[in-house]
Chains A and B, each alone.
Chain A
Amino acid sequence: MPRVRVQEADFDVGRELDALTRGRVDVGGMASFVGLVRDANDGRAVRGMTLEHYPGMTEKALEDICAQAHARWDLVDTLVIHRIGAMVPGDRIVLVAAASAHRGEAFAACEFIMDFLKTRAPFWKLEDTPEGSRWVEARASDDTAAERWKS
């Protein structure tokens, strides 16, 4: 069963990954990804950012992405935690983890969830730069990354 959380608070990566497999003996491998706030983007310094989302749809979209991963690979469990609100460079934004009997499926599912999260989950970043605040523009490379899973 996928676990999805959208929250303002930071998360403890070790504790979350432990919880995903605690008490289980059928997991042979778990892959995880942590996204962080960078201090620069598109040639400008970034002092911080605010993440806006679409309450209700966000959770549904993330659950749907995890369900697609479960349909595609033999997974024991998946986890997505995404933060909203104000963050500064170095802060964690997102944690994705996939647990499976074998590493190949865990690696693939983790990357798949992240690629679809980047293009389908309704989050928007507002960056605070020395020149003022600006909305981050979507990258074509993110669409390309999600497209390749269609084959």
Chain B
Amino acid sequence: MVTVLYFASLRESLGCSREQVALPPAGTPTVSLLVDALRSRDARFGEALAAGKPWRVAVNQQMADPATPIKPGDEVAFFPPVTGG
């Protein structure tokens, strides 16, 4: 299991801020595999995490990308491009 967090507009459109997700059983788990699993849940997830959408991802609070490996116990966060400052 990994902890998945959603922030800002992604949190709102998915109606979820935090959940536990089982890692896909096959191969070496990466962000990309996790995203595939989340997208296949329903249209809402498919739309929010669509390939053309500018979502960002962090693994264990470090900026990451689709190829970043993940392991049980990791914290994976999805969010829109940042707008602080």
Instruction: Check A135 against B8 for contact (C-beta < 8 Å).
Output: yes
* Of the residues B5, B61, B85, contact of A118 by C-beta under 8 Å: B85
The answer on a CB contact under 8 Å between A138 and B85 is: no
Chain A interface, DSSP helix/strand/loop, else mixed: mixed
Q: Which of B5, B12, B63, B83 is close to A123, meaning CB atoms less than 8 Å apart?
A: B83
Give the chain A neighbours of B5 by CB distance below 8 A: 54
Whether the pair A114, B85 counts as a contact (CB closer than 8 A) is yes
| B79 adjacent to A125 (CB under 8 Å) | no
Q: Find chain A residues with CB under 8 A from B63 CB.
A: 61, 120
Q: Which residue in chain B gives the minimum CB-CB distance to A118? A: B85
Binding site for B on A (CB under 8 A): 35, 51-54, 56-57, 60-61, 82, 93-94, 114, 117-126, 135-138
Query: What are 20 contact pairs spanning A and B, CB under 8 A?
Result: A54-B5, A60-B61, A94-B85, A118-B83, A118-B85, A120-B82, A121-B82, A122-B77, A122-B82, A123-B82, A123-B85, A124-B80, A124-B84, A125-B84, A135-B83, A137-B81, A137-B83, A138-B54, A138-B80, A138-B81
